[in-house]
Each structure stands twice: as C-alpha cells, then as structure tokens.
C-alpha cells in the first residue's frame, strides 16, 4: 500500500467542522490503496475539542504531532489549557495577522517540514496532500515537494485570496498572498476544492491548473443510529455549528419574536436548540434582547456524535449564512451535507448561493434571504400547523440520491487523484 503524507493543522482531537474533511479522508483512504501519515500540531488553545473522533481512525493510519511556535500553541503552553468552548479564541489583533505570514500558523511550518522529511525517509510516501486553511499547510507541502520531488496535491476548503484571509492585510500583504497562491498553483500536481466557486476562482488566478471539485460530505456511519421517536407536544428546530458574525441566528430570532406577537399559540410550541460555540457574538445577550429565553436553548459546543444526535432528534433544521460576501455564498458550509443526510426539512436562511441552491435542488426545505423576516415567521407558522396535524414532511435518512456526497465515495475520488499524481 502506498503512503500519502497529509498535512492538516486542524485535526482531532480538535473538533468543529474544519477537522472533518481531513479526518474522513484519513479514515477511508486505506480502503482505496492509500495509507495516510498525518502531520498535525500538538494541542493548542482552541474552543472545540472532540477526542472521540480519533476512535474513527483505522490502526493503519499514523498521526505525527509536532511542536509549533504559532500563537495558539504558545497560548496553550504558557496560559489556560482549557478545551472548553468558554476559552476565548479569536482571530486576534490585526497587527498580529499582518506580521504572521502567510497566517497565524507560520510558526508550524519548520516543524511540519522537518517531520515530513523524517517520515519520507522511512515510509514509502508517493504523494503529499495539504489542506487549507491554514495557508501554512500549503507552504509546508510546497517546500516538501521542492525538497523531495514528490507530487503535491493542494486542497482548498475555503477561498485563500479575496476573502477573510486577506481581511487584515494591506496592499503589500495582499500582493504577497497572491504571489504565494500562484506559486502553489504553479507547482501542485493537482488542486482539489470544496466548491465550484472556489475552483473557478483558482482557475482564474492560474489558468491551466488541474482542479478537481471534491465537495464536503457526510459519513453514512454517523447516521446509522435509528431516528428517535418524534415529540408531538413541541416542534424542535435545531441548528448545529459555530455561531459568529457570518452565521448569526438573529434573523431567526426576529422571526420568532414576530410569530410570538401575532400567534402565541403556535410560537409556544417551538423549541429552538442552538448546538455550537458562539465566537465573536453575544448569543445569550441577543436571545435576551428578543425575550426568547423560553424558546431558544444554547447548548454550547457539542462533540460531533452529540451534534448528529441533535440533528436526528429534531423535527427540522436551521442553517444561517448572514454574510453576503462572495466567499460565504460560494462555499456551502460542511454541515449542510449532514443536514441532507439527517432527512429533516431545512430552513436555510442565506443569500442566493451554493448552500441555498443545494437545498432547493434536493427539495429539502425552504430557503430565504436573511432580510425576509415575515416569510420566516410564515414558514414556522405553517410548519407548526403541519406538525400538529401529523403532516410534517420527513425524508429518508442517508438516501441513495446523496451517494456522491458520502465520505467513502469522496475518499475514493481523492485516491484516484493520488493515483494519477503518483504515476506522473
């Protein structure tokens, strides 16, 4: 079996959505002839830890954890080592972002490269795979490619240029970022991206690049547990994921307040569960401001297994994308594929974009822009009435029509990319 060196800064026991892609690739690639050797960082100061995710890895997968001089690792070493969602982890001051190039994790690059060379000297490594963010992972992958001649596959989970990763940089910083991205695109054997929007942006930046779209997805094994018995006395609407300025639940709260004001009987049956860490917003304060303490229940950060259980227990699911940037609209949040697999109608509060189009294409709910508050209230009122009458729709869990979004299928597609790169 060939080995692939996988550079993934965000990897379990860290939690949240950013680790799922690398984790699931590592879990399923051995079934298609590739043994991952993962290079990641040691424990850092982070607001979401989920050690149970490591149980998913087969014994053949090797995980190498390195030291780092990046701010999150240093904060862990010298400060509060809390792994709870109460640990305040933010983007940090703008000046620090300007001096850490290409990003905060620049201090990880020398350690990742040194460990990569050691692994390559002892393992039959035939390809290097790095996943962004952070950009430092791509730069480490590029350096290993230059030092060893092994093909480099660069994976984009987000847009690198033109989005939030350039937000704190001046003109000189943006120019350097574009140069660095062009270097990666020029030298990578293949580029993989989670969406057509990112793929198009990369092809525009470097025409002729080999780009493969490998979307995020869901693991059927996570949804093997039978759905629980419905709760006829209340209508449970659940949202899973991090809450921040780009994914702010406030439009839903405004709609619920409007529903309470005009139809208290319907509103009193609604129970909203917010399963995830709040980062950069005062979620409890927002809930108080709309007097919805008896309707909305923040559950805080949950492990992935707990989050899936919440999806399956819900009557419906809610998704928030309150940013109207091209980046936010081009990248469907990874959680949306698990929503589809859960078989529950989705209230997608988002501008027209990849996420809303996916919900519409599969007929899995209602999509509304964040300013359509009355329509949200109307939708909730209709859904509650259908629920009372026993007519609320339920879709099959993990239906065959979603097969192209399953993690094993996507790992097989990545294996074919690795096969092609290794041959050349």
Query: Are 295 and 189 in the same domain?
Result: no
Same domain, 335 and 412: no
Q: 363: burial class by Cβ within 10 Å (0-12, 13-18, 19+)?
A: exposed
**Residues 205, 237 within the same domain:** no
Task: Give the span between the Cα atoms of 161 and 202, in whole angstroms.
Answer: 9
On the question of pLDDT at 82 being above 60, the answer is: no
Residue 3 has pLDDT above 60, yes or no: yes
pLDDT given at position 159: 87
* Exposure string over 52-75, b if 16+ CB within 10 A, otherwise e: ebeebbeeebbbeebebebbbbeb
pLDDT tens, position by position, 90-103: 445 555 666 678 89
pLDDT tier, 248 (very low <50, low <70, confident <90, very high otherwise): very high
What is the number of alpha carbons within 13 Å of residue 276 lying toward its C-beta?
24
415 and 353 in a common domain: no
Q: What is the model's pLDDT at position 94?
A: 55
38 and 93 in one domain?
A: yes
Predicted pLDDT at 188: 96
Partnered with residue 66 across adjacent β-strands are: 41
Q: Which domain holds residue 380?
A: 221-401
- Could you tell me if 181 and 287 lie in one domain? no
Rounded distance, CA 159 to CA 157, Å?
7
Summarize the confidence of residues 307-333 as an average pLDDT: 83
Residue 204 and residue 175 in one domain: yes
Cis peptide bond N-terminal to 365, omega within 30: no
**Per-residue confidence (pLDDT) for residue 86, from 0 to 100:** 42
Lookup: tokens for 19: 């680790």
Q: Is residue 104 located within the same domain as residue 229? A: no
For residues 150 and 36, membership in a common domain is answered with yes
pLDDT digits (tens, 9 = 90+) for 175-200: 888 899 999 999 999 999 999 989 99
Assess whether 213 and 354 both reside in one domain: no
- What CATH number did the domain enclosing 247 receive? 3.40.50.2000
Rounded Cα–Cα distance for residues 4 and 172 (Å):
35
Most confident of 15-24, 25-34, 385-394: 25-34
Q: How far apart are CA 211 and CA 320, in angstroms?
A: 29
If asked whether residues 93 and 234 sit together in one domain, one would say no
Convert the pLDDT of each residue in 35-77 to its tens digit.
999 999 999 988 889 999 999 999 999 999 999 999 999 989 9
Cβ atoms 69, 108 nearer than 8 A: yes
DSSP summary character for residue 92: -
**Alpha carbon distance 340, 217 (integer Å):** 10
Least confident range from 32-36, 45-49, 121-125: namely 45-49
Residue 398 pLDDT level (bands cut at 50, 70, 90): low
Please state the pTM of the whole predicted model: 0.91
Do 269 and 309 lie in one domain? The reply is yes
Distance from chain centroid for Cα 90: 17
Domain tally for the chain? 2
Tell me which H or E stretch contains 252. helix 250-262
Secondary structure of 301-316 in the HEC alphabet? CCCHHHHHHHHHHCCE
Place of tokens 């994790």: 105
The pLDDT of residue 169: 55
């Amino acid at each position: 079996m060939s080995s692939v060196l996988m550079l993934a800064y965000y990897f379990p026991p860290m939690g949240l959505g950013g680790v799922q892609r690398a984790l699931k690739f590592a879990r399923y690639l051995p079934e298609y002839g590739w043994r991952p050797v993962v290079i990641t960082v040691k424990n850092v100061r982070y607001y979401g830890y989920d050690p149970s995710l490591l149980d998913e890895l087969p014994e053949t997968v090797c995980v190498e954890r390195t030291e780092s001089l990046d701010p999150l690792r240093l904060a862990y070493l010298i400060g509060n080592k809390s792994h709870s969602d109460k640990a305040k982890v933010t983007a940090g001051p703008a000046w620090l972002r300007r001096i850490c190039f290409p990003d905060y994790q620049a201090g990880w690059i020398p350690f990742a490269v040194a460990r990569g060379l050691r692994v390559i000297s002892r393992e039959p490594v035939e390809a290097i795979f790095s996943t962004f963010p952070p950009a430092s992972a791509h730069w480490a992958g590029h350096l290993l490619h230059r030092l060893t001649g092994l093909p480099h596959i660069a994976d984009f989970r987000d847009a690198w240029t033109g989005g939030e990763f350039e937000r704190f940089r001046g003109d000189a910083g943006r120019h350097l970022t574009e140069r660095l991205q062009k270097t990666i695109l020029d030298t990578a054997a293949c580029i993989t991206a989670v969406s057509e929007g990112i793929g198009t942006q990369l092809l525009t930046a470097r025409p002729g690049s080999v780009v493969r779209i490998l979307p995020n997805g869901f693991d059927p094994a996570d949804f093997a547990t039978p759905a629980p018995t419905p709760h006829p006395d209340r209508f449970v609407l659940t949202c899973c994921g991090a809450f921040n300025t780009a994914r702010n639940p406030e439009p839903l709260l405004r709609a619920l307040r409007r529903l309470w004001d005009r139809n208290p009987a319907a509103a009193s049956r609604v129970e909203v569960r917010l399963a995830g860490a709040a980062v950069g917003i005062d979620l409890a304060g927002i809930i108080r401001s709309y007097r919805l303490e008896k309707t909305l229940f923040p559950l805080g950060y949950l492990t992935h297994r707990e989050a899936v259980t919440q999806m399956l227990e819900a009557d419906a699911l809610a998704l928030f994308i309150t940013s109207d940037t091209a980046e936010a609209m081009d990248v469907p949040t990874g959680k949306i594929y698990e929503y589809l697999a859960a078989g529950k109608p989705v209230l997608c509060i988002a501008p027209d974009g990849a996420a809303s189009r996916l919900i519409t294409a599969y007929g899995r709910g209602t999509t509304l822009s964040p300013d359509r508050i009355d329509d949200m209230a109307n939708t909730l009122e209709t859904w509650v009435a259908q629920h009372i009458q026993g007519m609320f729709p339920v879709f099959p869990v993990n239906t065959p029509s979603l097969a192209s979004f399953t993690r094993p299928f996507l790992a097989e597609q990545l294996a074919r990319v690795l096969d092609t790169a290794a041959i050349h």
